[in-house]
Structures are given as structure tokens and as C-alpha cells.
Amino acid sequence: MEVRLGFLKWVAVILTILDRVNSVSGSCHFSFVDDNKLYNYTLDSPIPFFPHGVQSEDGFYKVAANETVLWFQLCDGMIFNHDPPRCVDCRDCGGASRCGMGCSALVANNIEGYDVCTTIGRASSIDMNIIDRKNPNTGVIVKMSSSGLKFNCSLSVSVICDPNRGPHSLEKTGKCDYATVLTHPSGCAKIEHVHGRGWGWLGTLGIIILCLFGAYLLVGAGYRYIKLGVRGIHIIPNLDFWTGLPQTTQPPPYSSSAAVFRKARLSPYLFTLLSFVLFVSVLYGADLTCIFGHRKKREKLPFAVGKTDEGCDVFSGRWVFDESTRPLYEESECPYIQPQLTCQEHGRPDKDYQKWRWQPHGCDLPSFNATLMLETIRGKRMMFVGDSLNRGQYVSMICLLHKLIPDDAKSMETFDSDSRTVFTAKTYNATIEFYWAPFLLESNSDNAIVHRISDRIVRKGSINKHGKHWKGVDLLVFNTYLWWMTGVEFKIILGSFNDEVKDIVKLPTTEAYRMAMKTMLRWVRKNMDPKKTRVFFTSMSPSHGNGIEWGGEPGGNCYNQTTLIEDPNYWGSDSRKNIMEVIGDVFSKSKVPISFLNITQLSNYRKDAHTSIYKKQWSPLTPEQIANPVSYADCPMHANNEATNYCCAEVSPLSPPLHSVRLASLFAVFFFGEDLTYIFYVELQLGPTAVRIMGLETKREELPPFAIGKNEEGCGVFSGRWNFDESTRPLYEESECPYIQPQLTFQEHGRPDKVPEMALADPRLRSSQEYNATIEFHWAPFLLESNSDDAVVHKVSEKIVRKGCINKHGKHWEGVDILVFNTYLWWMTALFKLWSIDDEVKNVVEMPTMEAYRMAMKSLERWVQKNMDPEKTRVFFTSMSPVHGKNIFARSTDWGGDRGGSCYNQTTLSEDPNYKGSDSTDDIMQIIGEVFNKSKVPITFLNITQLSSYRKDAHTSIYKKQRSRLSPEQLANPIRYDCVHWCLPGLQDTWNELLFAKLFYPLTL
């Protein structure tokens, strides 16, 4: 009996361990499982724009109430009721701006005249817990407690999942107990779906049993070998039991089963263990499915360039008023907006509806990047198919992109009796199209102009009339909903519209809609290649025709509405949940991936964003309508209305009007997926109903750090030609950039001509945005230590480099995320000298320049291998920059110029595609290739030499600030001047374009 009780105690210990595995907490780290989801909170981990997580970057948070003032540093466990002391020797604590609990100055007996007893100081314990278990993503509470001689003090900080606004007011909850609220993105949980993904507790139990069994064998064998001197197979403990175990489970010949049971009784230990294993298996049997059904690896979705955070639902969030970044452009700037959507032009008096930005819970929405979008659809067709709401989103997309395209390189045309509208970006060989098909299937409302028919009829299963126009499209965005909402039943024609006797039946609207969804899926499965194309479906767009639903006046609608609906659970009655269930049911059975854009809930809040009365009216208004604007405001859903429209005044990512909401959602799912490492799904939160939209599984493909896409196979960005482009170049004027050194300001110093370059850029960057980033330059002309390391005085006639010594400079490069190296011109002497610079007696040796350069490259490669993490950082090396001057390395005769000439007065390019200056030595290129090819850390080579060789016109020449007054001889002979450096704006802007391409779009992923 005692033995049994002892074994049961061990079982209890194992259960306790298992319970601890499922709930882990620590200093600013907390995890718990709820409803098959693992919620992780790590407040001190870096997140975008907050490198220290919730920790204050400039010292301490300050919070006050009446005469009480507290300073605190979360996670470091520091609380003060006086000005926090300055740190002393805090290099190991994150620097003087963020001390932490390791700094001795913070626990000294007396600090700048303050007594220790007046300081709460270091917290003796830090406890974390969830604020609301029913809504775990609300945030967490961090309680810092400190035990003292007089008082036990504490500070409870509620970290709310929200954009950062710092701590709120302080509340005193006890004699020395305080509470405050801190809004910060770190309070948002990272969610992982854990059900059915592994062996669960059963796996943990198995591991424990195996470990115990292994320890038993190891200890037993050791004891028998050392103490008893046993050798061979008999070293195994209890060998007789293990060898006789098979016989105990087999009945002897001709014996009854009852006799066998009596003779071979189960050991009580074995019986207890088997019972426990059976209990866990039954309790957690669902987890066993993963033993037999492993998740398949998936191919990366076409066009996707990254992934959103695990558990990030971009469709769940709230609207944030944002005057600093919204609107992205004015209504008047986009000539493609239809008059039905131009609210400002038609008299809307307010503009606040343009300044709301959508903020998902627990993550950030990727910003809409027009350049990325255009580059991605280069050579492709993108098409929106559906009703006027999808047409509004189509126009929205064009408004976001058109400013990057020159006027003579874009056009808008209509085809197929106005059913198809095509915007062409000629320089990108791309089209963005809209196709009118309000039901997707063939119907009696297919005329793109005249389609207001009260008795709507759809032809059963007939999609090919429209579908033939969708073939060959790379990106398809469908929508259909409002036109189906004519009542509880819908008319379906079983034959053709051309039949004399038409066979028309009535179906419940939901069943008619289900038939349309199944037909669309069959067409997609037959005509769209999931490895090359993407298909999206946009959920229903709500109307706001009944003001009572949001607490408005009876008979009211969206007219004169300028505020949002604040109830997060608001769901208009026009957004039918049974339709959402139909979509979820049909799409979940699809064998092809269709990305679902769930814009319904977020659009429900926006009663302020409809066109209302501020649009072009297609027929004269009656006196009754003029007297009652509510009667003709475009927001309710009526059977005869074309659709519910939203203002298109500024169509920005997730800002009103609501067409842009869908665009930003489309952009996020299009480029970043919902989760590219697992099955794509979206949960539609419909009160008690949850619909899951499933897609295909794809294989995960790792991107290099910072890369967001892949260049085309065979595309050599360093091989090409220069195009003269006055429409888009230069990207900036010399006078607009205050950071250009006077040695490079050629216009300021009298150059009479301008030479535009070729490039591509997105002008939508805003100078007011905070990036928490640095772009740095470090002077190291040889990369190694040399006698030319002074950044100001470095013109030395006899250049000497210290062999292999890179750490003098390298210590300044540590911690850099993106490094761009170059070194070449300073090496160009016949022989090169190497020595140890600090030695009194300098041991200087000469070696061929090529060998000295090889030594430098090897030193660089070793430093990179030791200090750069290829999973987090990128390293680039720029090839030699050509010279077009009068010296021993470059001659004007190389390009057919006069003997003794240089870059001075050169205004044309070298047209010979095979031109290569004599200063660009093949030996150097060969050395770089040999060394870098053996590198275990990838170093991306930026080969700017050939393309720069053509640009003898782009040097600063004489048009720069001179460091000393020119002599009469120099003034008389200007060809001696600078043919090494380049004017800005100019050639080096293209170098940065190439760096941009290699950084974000490497040739291979």
C-alpha cells in the first residue's frame, strides 16, 4: 500500500509540472492558454518603433496625482517618489538613458541629497496577470511591490493594448499603494493557435517517461558496472524482467484464458501507469490527430512579400483620428473619381471623414506602398469584378497609383459596351480593370449603363458570359451582395434569356446566393492557377439607412452624420449574417485559395463616410426631395438603388472613404498574407457565430533580412542602358537637400546644364514621420587601419596600411543592421606599404597592390563572418567607381576624346556598350569574386562599375567648392579638376536605386 501511495505522489508531481508548462509567467513575460489559443505577452521585447518594448527610452515614466509624483521603469522594477538619480557606470544597463536594476547608483545609501527611506527603489517582486480573461487582448496588469522597514509599497500598471500615449493619471489605492494606466502596443498579445498542433500533454508525459526510463537505465548500468563489476549485456538492470516480459503476455499452449490471467497478474506499478496514460489519452485525444496528420508545407502565395504577425487580424480594430497622415491626397488631385463619389465638389462642408485611420488590435497595418504595388503588377493584369462598390474600390486603387505614372504613360478606356474599364500604366506594361457584373452570374442587369430593373432575374449557373473576360487576369477581386437583397426570395431563370417561354423559379435568397458562390468557385478552380494568380472576395458593404439602429432619430439615415458609431459590437441589420455563413460554408470547402476581405464590421462604424446628398444626381430633384434631403441621401439600401456608395475624396490605406478600407485590407492580405506559415483563414466574429474561411496550404519560403520580394529570373539590374527622362528626373533638386556637401553642389557652383537620371521612387514619404532610425557614414578609405584615417586631413603622399587590422574601425560597425562597404581608389599605386603604425621602429614591407587588396578583402570577410548575423542583417559591397580624368589610370582617349582631356565640359554619355575605362581593373574584380564566393555570410555585390563608366558627363569637374584658392595655372587649365566624385542629384541616386532593389527585391529568396 505504501508503495502505491508513493507512486501516486509521483503522478501528482508530474501533473503539477504539466500544469506549470501550460502557464508561464516571469518579469514582464506572461503566457496563458484559453480556448485553444496561446496568448503571449513580452513587454520588454523590441517591437516596431519601440526598440525597448514598453520600457521608457528616455529614462523613466512620470505620473502624478495631486502632490504625489512617481517615476517608474516597467520590467526593470524601478520606482521613485523623487527625481530619478543619474546613472553611474551604466554601460551594462542599456546606457544612461535607460538604467535598469543593475546600476549601483540606484541602490546607494545617499543619492544627490535624497535619503534611501524616501525611495521605493527597486521592486522586490513583479507580478503579471491578465486584465480581462473574457477579452485577453485588452492588456495586462504589472504589479511592482517593495517591502520596506516602515511600509509595504506597490505600483500597479495596467498596460492597455493601444497606440502609445504614455501613462495616465495616478490613483492612490492604499497607504503606499498606487495604480496607473499605460497605453502601449506592447500590451497586445501575440496569439498562437495551439489546439491540434502537437502532442499536447501526452507528448510532455511521453518525454518525462522516456527521460525517467533513460535515467533508470543509465544509473542502473553505471551501478552494476562500477560497483558489481558486471560486463556485457548483463549490465542492463533487471535484465531477466525485460527478457521475460514477452513470455508473460503470451498464454502457454492449451491453457485457458482464466488460468493465464491468474498466472500473469499485472504489476500494480504497470497497471497504474497504463491507467494514467489511458486517462490522458482520452482527455487529450484531439491532440493525437497531429501524430497521424502533419501539417503540409506550403508554397509562398503569389505576390506575397512577407507575413503578418501570428494572430494578427487586420480586420479587427478601431478607427483612429489622424490629422498628421490623412488624407494622402485631395479629391481634386485625382481626375478619375466619378461624379457620384466627389463629395467635396458637390458641397460637403466637412472634411473630418477623410482623417480617420484604421488601427488593428494587437498589430499594425502595413502602409500602402504605391511603388511596391506598381512594381508587383508590372506586366500583369489586375481586375475588380462586381457592382458599383467594387468600381469605387477600383477607382480608389487608381487614385493611389496614378501620381507615380507620367501623364503620357497612362490612359483610361472602356470596352464591351462600357462593361469593362481599363486603366493602363504603359511604363509598367500593366492594366488595372473593372468589369461590371453585379451578380457575377448572367442577369437582366448586366448593362453597365441601364440596369435599374425592379424585377431582377439571374440565370442559373451561367458565369461564362462574364468569365470569358476574366481569363488571363493575374489578380481578381470579386464582390457581390447588395443586388441580391430584394427580399426573402429571388428569381432564377433555368434556361436562357432568349427563350420564348422562360422557365423562371423562385429560390430563397440565401440559396440563390449559395448557388452563385459555388458557380464562382468552380470557375476559379477551372481557370485560375493558384501558383501564379491570386483571387480575393470582398464581404458585404453596409448601408446606414435606419438611424434608430445606432441611437439616431426615427426616419434618419446617414445624412448629416459626421461622427462614427462607437459601439464595438454594432452590426447593422442590412448586413445579413446568414449570407456570411453561406460564404464561410462554401469557401471552407474550396480546393483553391480565395482570400476573404472582411470589410463589413469596420465599415459598419462609418455612418459618416457615405456620399449622402453630396454627389451628382442623375435626374432632377423634386421639390419634395429638395425640402427633405434625407429622402434622397445615398446611404440606405433600397431595391431600386444601384448600390451604397462612399465618398472618394481621399482614397488612402484604411482611411475613409470606405473603398480605401478594402484597399488597405487587400494590400495587407495581398502582400503580407494573414499567416503564410499556416493554413490561411479568417474568423468572422458574428456574435455567437464564427465562420472560418479556409484556403490552400502553401510552403514557407524564407526571405533574406529586409527583403520583401523577388526580382525576376534573369533580370540583371546592373546591365542596361541610360534613358533620357525629363518627366520623372531628377527626383529632387539640389537646393531641396541641405545635406549635400559643397564639393558636390555643381549647380550652386556654376554648372550650366542639368542631366536627369533614370530611377523610380515613391514621393509619399512624409518628413514628420518618426522612424527611430539612423543612416550613418564612417570614414575608412582602406577599411583597414591606415595613416589616412583622419576624416579631414588625409591627403598623404605615402599611404600605409596596417596589415589585417580592421577592429579600429570595426568596433564602430557593430550593431549595424545594414552595412554598405566600398574601397578601391585609395589602393591604386603600383606597390603598397604595410606596417604596424604604433611601433617605434616601424616594420614596413611592400607588396603588390593586388595582394594587399586581397588581404584587405579577407580581413573584411572574416570580420563580417564574426560580427554579422545573416538572419537579421545585410552586408553590401560596392564595386569600383570609374574615373574619367587625366591620370595614369584613366585617359580621355579611352572613350575617343582628345589626348590630355578629362571629364571637363563633357555633357554626353559614352555610347559604346562595351566601353570600359582603363582604371577599372579586372584583377580587382576577380579578387573580390574569389574572396566573397568563399564567405559563409552572404555579401551582396553592387556592381556599379560598368553603368557608371558610361557617365563621363556626371562628375563634379570644376563645379564644386574648392578647398584652396585656385592658382592662375589652374584657372587656365580646368581639365585637371575633379573627375572622381559625382554631382548630386545625379549618378549616385541610381546607385541607391540599385541598393534598394537588392535590399528589398533580391534575385533569389
Report whether pLDDT(727) > 60. no
More confident residue, 180 or 840: 180
pLDDT range class, residue 174, cuts 50, 70, 90: confident
- SS (HEC) of 879-910: CCCCCCCCCCCCCHHHHCCCCCCCCCCCCCCC
Instruction: List the domain boundaries for the chain.
Output: 14-193, 200-292, 317-440+475-481+518-694, 734-762+778-1000
pLDDT in the model for residue 742: 56
Residue type, 718: F
- Lowest average pLDDT, out of 148-152, 373-377, 733-737, goes to 148-152
pLDDT digits (tens, 9 = 90+) for 252-276: 554 444 444 444 444 544 555 555 5
Across 747-773, average pLDDT: 46
pLDDT in the model for residue 669: 56
The 8-class DSSP code of residue 367 comes to P
Report whether pLDDT(768) > 50. no
Residues 676/695, Cβ–Cβ less than 8 Å: no
Residue 965 three-state SS: coil
pLDDT in the model for residue 293: 43
Report whether pLDDT(764) > 50. no
Task: Please state whether the peptide bond connecting residue 237 to the residue before it is cis, i.e. omega within 30 degrees of 0.
Answer: no
More confident residue, 184 or 153: 184
CB proximity list for 390: less than 8 A, separation 6 or greater: 384, 434, 477, 478, 479, 538
- Give the chain's mean pLDDT: 69
pLDDT in the model for residue 382: 92
pLDDT in the model for residue 971: 60
Report whether pLDDT(692) > 60. no
pLDDT digits (tens, 9 = 90+) for 852-870: 888 888 999 999 988 988 8
Across 347-355, average pLDDT: 69
Report whether pLDDT(758) > 70. no
pLDDT in the model for residue 429: 92
Q: Establish whether domains 14-193 and 734-762+778-1000 are of one fold.
A: no
More confident residue, 735 or 931: 931
pLDDT in the model for residue 81: 54
**Which range in 244-258, 260-274, 783-797 is most confidently predicted, on average pLDDT?**
783-797
Cα atoms found within 13 Å of the Cα of residue 529, Cβ hemisphere only: 7
Cα 652 to Cα 634: distance, rounded to the nearest angstrom? 22
Residue 864 three-state SS: helix
Q: Does an H or E element contain 978, and which?
A: strand 978-982
Does the domain spanning 734-762+778-1000 belong to CATH 3.40.50?
A: yes
Detail the DSSP E strand segments found in 812-896: 818-821, 831-835, 845-848, 874-878
- Closest to 484 measured CA to CA, from 451, 450, 518, 509: 509
More confident residue, 490 or 962: 490
pLDDT in the model for residue 892: 67
pLDDT in the model for residue 880: 82
Cα 71 to Cα 946: distance, rounded to the nearest angstrom? 59
pLDDT in the model for residue 398: 87
Beta bridge partners of 159: 140, 182
In the numeric block, which cell numbers belong to residue 751? 554648372
More confident residue, 458 or 914: 458
**Which range in 106-120, 250-264, 625-639 is most confidently predicted, on average pLDDT?**
625-639
Cα 511 to Cα 458: distance, rounded to the nearest angstrom? 13
14-193 has which CATH code? 2.70.130.10
Report the interhelical angle of 268-283 vs 2-21 (nearest 10°): 30
Task: Please state whether the peptide bond connecting residue 327 to the residue before it is cis, i.e. omega within 30 degrees of 0.
Answer: yes
Residues 459/496, Cβ–Cβ less than 8 Å: yes
Instruction: Give how far Cα 245 sits from Cα of 211, 265, 336, Å.
Output: 21, 12, 83
pLDDT in the model for residue 915: 76
pLDDT range class, residue 237, cuts 50, 70, 90: confident
From first CA to last CA, the distance across the chain in angstroms is: 64
Instruction: Give how far Cα 243 sits from Cα of 150, 172, 219, Å.
Output: 68, 71, 19
pLDDT range class, residue 411, cuts 50, 70, 90: very high
Cα 96 to Cα 110: distance, rounded to the nearest angstrom? 19
Report whether pLDDT(524) > 70. yes
Cα 330 to Cα 322: distance, rounded to the nearest angstrom? 15
pLDDT range class, residue 395, cuts 50, 70, 90: confident
Instruction: Give how far Cα 776 sits from Cα of 133, 766, 809, 929, Å.
Output: 46, 20, 14, 27
pLDDT range class, residue 19, cuts 50, 70, 90: very low
Angle at 890 between CA 884 and CA 894, to 5 degrees: 85
Report whether pLDDT(7) > 50. no
Question: pTM to 2 decimals?
Answer: 0.43
Cα 625 to Cα 604: distance, rounded to the nearest angstrom? 26
More confident residue, 667 or 1002: 1002
Cα 427 to Cα 425: distance, rounded to the nearest angstrom? 6
pLDDT in the model for residue 835: 65
pLDDT digits (tens, 9 = 90+) for 73-87: 777 656 655 555 444
The 8-class DSSP code of residue 712 comes to P
pLDDT range class, residue 501, cuts 50, 70, 90: confident
pLDDT digits (tens, 9 = 90+) for 138-170: 888 888 777 655 556 778 888 888 766 677 677
Instruction: Give how far Cα 601 sits from Cα of 367, 569, 695, 967, Å.
Output: 20, 9, 22, 75
pLDDT range class, residue 653, cuts 50, 70, 90: very low
Report whether pLDDT(739) > 70. no
pLDDT range class, residue 619, cuts 50, 70, 90: low
